[in-house]
Amino acid sequence: MAVIQFQHVGRVFRQNGKEFVALKDINFEVGDREFVAVVGPSGCGKTTCMRMAAGLEHPTDGEVKVDSEIVTQPGPDRAVVFQQFALFPWKTVWDNIDFGLRSLRVDTEERKRRIEQIIALMGLGGYEQAFPHQLSGGMQQRVAIARAYVLDPKVLLMDEPFGALDAQTRVVMQEELVRLARKNPRTVLFITHAVEEAVYLADRIVVMSRRPGSIREIIDVKTVRETENWDAHTCIEDVMDLPSFVHLRTHVWKLLREQQLGDEH
């Protein structure tokens, strides 16, 4: 059963009497414990889609529902991992992770247990009392993911979470997210412009095009991944070498390239 639903979602901006259609007739669903990646060129409105599911923005047409209820405002049941981390610089790693738990009115013992568990899981041990600026970009993003995961939210919304990281750190984080997602599956809406990242992480990929932002194609990755047994490989490089992976990647690339060529003519 679908946890996130986009039903005929549109978004129109009005400026100086002119209308600009940012999103047009977006229809897709994210099932229970399904990992859906949205890829598209910049300006296609993919981040806006995520922000609508979070309740940080609102559609001008159609509806965005989470658990069959129309999203009206942000809340801890829809935890967001931002591209720019958005950790509170005046709070320690521990207090950053604790921030959302305190809104959930979880008792002190339970909070402590959950924070310790997520810190161990994300490899943040020893950094509990560090401030964000004392950590590398990769470590900061681990804290941001921990801060979202610890809430045990209905859905996780990730907006290009690895976009600000260097190439090596990015690969490590992608592997860890796969490990986390397979061991502990959640309903995830993942926004990215990196095609390989989407193919590697997602169960399904929503490919978007721009002007106006709309859905080009929805691709099933999970079936291919399971029949070709990608998860038997622990390294991302090995998975990326598999013919089935290359085939899917090329397919998504072509969809995006067509738009690029269309733009130029």
Partner 1 sequence: MIARALPSQQFWRLTIAGTFTFLAIWSVAALSGLTSRAFLPAPWDVVVRFIELLTQPFAGYVLHEHLLSSLHRFAMGFGLAVLIGIPLGLLMAWFKWIDRIVTPAFEAIRFVAPIAWVPFAALWFGTGIGGPILIIFMGAFPPVLINTYRGAKQVDRKYIEAAQMLGASSWRSMTEVLLPAAVPSIVAGLRVSAGLGWQSLVGAELIVASSGVGYLMVKGQASVSTATVMCGMLAIGIVGLLIDVALRRLHAAIEQRRGT
Residues at the interface with partner 1 (CB under 8 A): 54-56, 73-76, 78-80, 82, 84, 86-91, 99-100, 102-104, 131, 133-134, 147, 151
Q: Which residues contact 1 (CB under 8 A, 6 or more apart)?
A: 31, 32
150 vs 252, which CB is nearer to partner 1? 150
Q: Which residues contact 39 (CB under 8 A, 6 or more apart)?
A: 46, 192, 193, 194, 195, 198, 205, 206, 207, 208, 252, 256
Write down the least CB distance from residue 52 to partner 1, Å.
13
Write down the least CB distance from residue 1 to partner 1, Å.
24
Write down the least CB distance from residue 32 to partner 1, Å.
21
Cα(94)–Cα(76) distance, integer angstroms: 18
Write down the least CB distance from residue 51 to partner 1, Å.
9
Q: What is the amino acid identity at position 190?
A: F
Centroid of chain to Cα 221: 16
Strands of the sheet containing 69-70, edge to edge, are 18-31, 2-15, 61-66, 69-70
Assign 127 to helix, strand or coil: coil
Q: Which of 27, 37, 38, 145 is nearest to 85 (CA)?
A: 145
Write down the least CB distance from residue 220 to partner 1, Å.
30
